Amino acid sequence: MTPSHDAPRGAKQVRQRRRVSYQWRLREVMAEHKMYATTELVPLLAERGVYLSASQVHRLATSTPERLSLPILAALCDIFGIDPAELIHTDAANIGVRKVAADDRPAQPPPGVGDLRPVRARIVRPEQ
């Protein structure tokens, strides 16, 4: 990928598109530590100042969260003695290319389009 400041002015450049994904591995990490019931995590989290209900911990362990607070992540890493990378496996892959204009500016409208203005409609009743 060529940075925009190296490309000649007005030249097109190609930018690689990437897809990023992640895999939440809390269930696997729990199994590696011989912890099979999600309710076992509730008091361990509470010891670290993270107060979640049993149902919240169950959802945390059985489904992939879209958002995760840093105190929860830090507490889980401390409980299992792991790094965040062992709990969240990330992946990024190239999926294709996208052509962009130099300086990544939006395309200009065709000439004359800016001169067009809407015409106000007038509603008149038919003569009776």
- Tell me which residue of 61, 24, 68 sits closest to 44, measured CA to CA: 61
Report the pLDDT averaged over residues 106-125.
75
Q: Which fold has domain 18-98?
A: 434 Repressor (Amino-terminal Domain) (1.10.260)
What is the arithmetic mean of pLDDT over 35-54? 95
pLDDT band at 125 (very low <50, low <70, confident <90, very high): confident
| pLDDT tens figures, 80-90 | 999 999 999 99
* 3-state SS assignment for residue 26: helix
Q: What is the Rg, in whole angstroms, of the alpha carbon atoms belonging to the chain? A: 28
Q: The whole model's pTM is what?
A: 0.62
